[in-house]
């Protein structure tokens, strides 16, 4: 089986896992979250936005990279890099609406490293794993794939903002989304640091959330009308955590 075929199979399974995650988010609200009130302001169905492919690919890519690190699989990491090589990021200088709760970092504490979503770095990480497993042919294939990916350029882009959150604190951002179009938000911390994402409507209603025990939060929803939404990035750890939040 060729490396390209393996990449495709891994990406398919990651995409399926992502769809299942998104579907689960339509279930009952987190019992520890504030009570919901008023209209949920969510309409269906939603049309795809022109650049929606960027966030979809990012979400699959970061999930697959996490699987690769957890299983120490050069195949999964290379597949993630292949997907992420087709998207680019534009800087979004988002200002925090507020920070809720939490603790001040310990004196002299340094934030964790920013999560790695750069395709070139992920290809290098995958090749290193292949070499560590004494699989030189695979490492060579990964390097060839990386060279080909680097020469073709990105296809679509998304808005990206880097920040850090205090131990056990929640950073809140206000972002405007268009009505009757699928809305997306992705937050990622370094591997090994649990971070959650909660989305509230403008009237304080909890719309969707991702609070599994991973370093990634992915939320999809469909606003009934153009409106501001509040993206709550929650650090569940005692560490001073760096993260990246990405939106359409």
Least confident window among 32-36, 68-72, 111-115, 150-154: 32-36
The shares of helix, strand and coil residues in the chain, as percent rounded to the nearest 5, are 35, 30, 40
What is the token pair recorded at 27? 């279930």
Phi, psi (deg, nearest 5) at residue 197: -130, 125
pLDDT of residue 22: 45
Using alpha carbons, list the distances in angstroms from residue 80 to 52, 125, 220: 18, 11, 20
pLDDT of residue 19: 42
- Confidence band of 102 (pLDDT split at 50, 70, 90): very high
Residue 206 makes CB contacts below 8 A (sequence gap 6+) with 29, 30, 33, 34, 36, 198, 199, 200
Distance CA 112, CA 130 (A): 26
The rounded percent of the chain whose pLDDT value lies above 90 is 65
pLDDT of residue 154: 61
Number of domains the chain is built from: 1
Question: Looking at the predicted structure, is the pLDDT value of residue 190 above 60?
Answer: yes
pLDDT of residue 8: 52
> Bridge-partner residues for 163, per DSSP?
243
Question: Looking at the predicted structure, is the pLDDT value of residue 4 above 80?
Answer: no
pLDDT of residue 216: 95
pLDDT of residue 6: 54
Mean pLDDT of 39-45: 46
- Confidence band of 3 (pLDDT split at 50, 70, 90): low
pLDDT of residue 39: 37
Question: Looking at the predicted structure, is the pLDDT value of residue 17 above 50?
Answer: no
pLDDT of residue 92: 85
- Confidence band of 189 (pLDDT split at 50, 70, 90): very high
Q: Give the other-Cβ count within 10 Å of 1's Cβ.
A: 6
Distance CA 193, CA 247 (A): 21
What is the token pair recorded at 131? 């070499």
Least confident window among 18-27, 83-92, 114-123, 233-242: 18-27
Least confident window among 9-18, 46-55, 78-87, 207-216: 9-18
The CATH number covering residue 147 comes to 2.60.120.380
pLDDT of residue 117: 82
Tell me which residue range forms the domain holding 105. Answer: 3-247
| DSSP one-letter string for 186-200 | EEEE-TT--EEEEEE
pLDDT of residue 100: 97
What is the token pair recorded at 242? 């760096």
pLDDT of residue 54: 87
Q: Is 61 left (phi over 0), alpha (psi -120 to 50) or beta?
A: alpha
Question: Looking at the predicted structure, is the pLDDT value of residue 231 above 90?
Answer: yes
């Amino acid at each position: 089986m060729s490396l390209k075929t393996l990449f495709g199979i891994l990406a398919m399974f990651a995409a399926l896992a992502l769809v299942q995650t998104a579907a689960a988010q339509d279930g009952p609200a987190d019992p520890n979250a504030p009570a919901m009130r008023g209209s949920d302001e969510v309409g269906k169905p939603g049309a795809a936005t022109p650049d929606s492919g960027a966030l979809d690919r990012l979400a699959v890519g970061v999930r697959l990279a996490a699987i690769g690190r957890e299983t120490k699989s050069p195949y999964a990491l290379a597949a993630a890099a292949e997907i992420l090589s087709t998207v680019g990021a534009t800087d979004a200088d988002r200002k925090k609406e507020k920070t809720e709760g939490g603790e001040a970092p310990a004196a002299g504490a340094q934030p964790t490293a920013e999560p790695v979503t750069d395709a070139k770095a992920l290809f290098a990480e995958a090749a290193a794993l292949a070499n560590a497993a004494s699989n030189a042919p695979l490492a060579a294939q990964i390097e060839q794939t990386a060279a080909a990916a680097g020469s073709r350029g990105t296809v679509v882009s998304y808005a990206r903002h880097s920040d850090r959150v205090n131990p056990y604190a929640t950073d809140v951002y206000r972002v405007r989304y268009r009505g009757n179009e699928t809305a997306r938000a992705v937050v990622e911390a370094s591997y090994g640091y649990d971070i959650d994402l909660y989305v509230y409507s403008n009237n304080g209603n909890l719309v969707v959330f991702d609070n599994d025990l991973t370093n990634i939060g992915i939320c999809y929803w469909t606003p009934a009308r153009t409106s501001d939404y509040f993206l709550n990035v929650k650090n569940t750890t005692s560490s001073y955590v760096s993260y990246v939040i990405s939106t359409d």
